[in-house]
Amino acid sequence: DTEVTQTPKHLVMGMTNKKSLKCEQHMGHRAMYWYKQKAKKPPELMFVYSYEKLSINESVPSRFSPECPNSSLLNLHLHALQPEDSALYLCASSQDLLAGMTYEQYFGPGTRLTVT
Amino acid sequence: GNSVTQMEGPVTLSEEAFLTINCTYTATGYPSLFWYVQYPGEGLQLLLKATKADDKGSNKGFEATYRKETTSFHLEKGSVQVSDSAVYFCALIPYNQGGKLIFGQGTELSVKP
């Protein structure tokens, strides 16, 4: 089973709202990722968690706040977003993140976010 | 730096035609190479991978060979179907940078009956 699930599938929020995106995997993977994808573009890495600790933050604005409550769950908390933040937000996971090793990433279906 | 270049789309083919999507890369050392596919309205699916020179990845009739001498990882399929219509992304993970999946710009494929 290589399934990563994401909720909700679609989200519409105003610029003053607070909302959260959720991601879950049950493959025993120890690394989890958030990506942002604009239409007709490749995904852009936002955050990487390894063993529930933030490993990489690609200079993402503070209105995006990630959280990894346990090894299976990854959240992305959203606050005071701008219309240009509207995009598909993809979660991914991989077995591990060890230096010198390569692990393929498995993606979820994404959350389509619209900021009004 | 590390980068991936794909042929521009959209690519339009008739059903049962031969498919090639070109991908070349720039990277230090020996990166791992991947093809991902994104069907309309969905997330990315790993299609195939290769981790060292001359490796051939294959899945669902698609193939790609890791060519170090030409720094290429071209995607091929002998006979495409309408259901193969999607966006295809070539990507690499640089050696010793496990979390950094670097994508090409994507190539949209449209297969007509």
pLDDT in tens, B34-89: 999 999 989 999 999 999 999 999 999 999 999 999 999 999 999 999 999 999 99
B105 touches chain A (CB under 8 A): yes
d(CA B33, CA B103): 10
pLDDT at A1: 58
Name which of A45, A90, A102 is nearest B98 (Cβ-Cβ): A102
Token match 């070109």: residue?
A: B22
Q: What share of chain A is helix, strand, coil (3-state, %, to 5)?
A: 5, 55, 40
Give yes or no for a contact between B81 and B15, defined as CB atoms under 8 angstroms apart.
yes
Percent of chain B predicted with pLDDT > 70 = 99
Q: Are strands A18-25 and A4-7 parallel, antiparallel or unpaired?
A: antiparallel
Q: What is the DSSP letter of B72?
A: B
Q: Annotate A9-25 with b (16+ C-beta within 10 A) or e (fewer).
A: eebebeeeeebebbbbb
Name which of A43, A48, A101 is nearest B44 (Cβ-Cβ): A43
Nearest-neighbour CA in chain A from B18: distance (Å):
24
pLDDT at B58: 97
How many A×B Cβ pairs under 8 Å?
63
Identify the segments of chain A with pLDDT beneath 50: none
Average pLDDT of every residue of chain B: 94
pLDDT band at B10 (very low <50, low <70, confident <90, very high): very high
Residue A12 CA, distance from chain mean position: 17
User: From chain A, which residues contact B within 8 Å (Cβ)?
Assistant: 4, 6, 31, 33, 40-43, 45, 48, 50, 55-56, 90, 92, 94, 96-110
B28 touches chain A (CB under 8 A): no
B93 to A102: CB separation less than 8 angstroms, yes or no: yes
Residues of chain B contacting A106 with CB distance shorter than 8 Å: 46
Degrees, nearest 5: CA angle A51-A93-B19 = 155
Nearest-neighbour CA in chain B from A79: distance (Å):
24
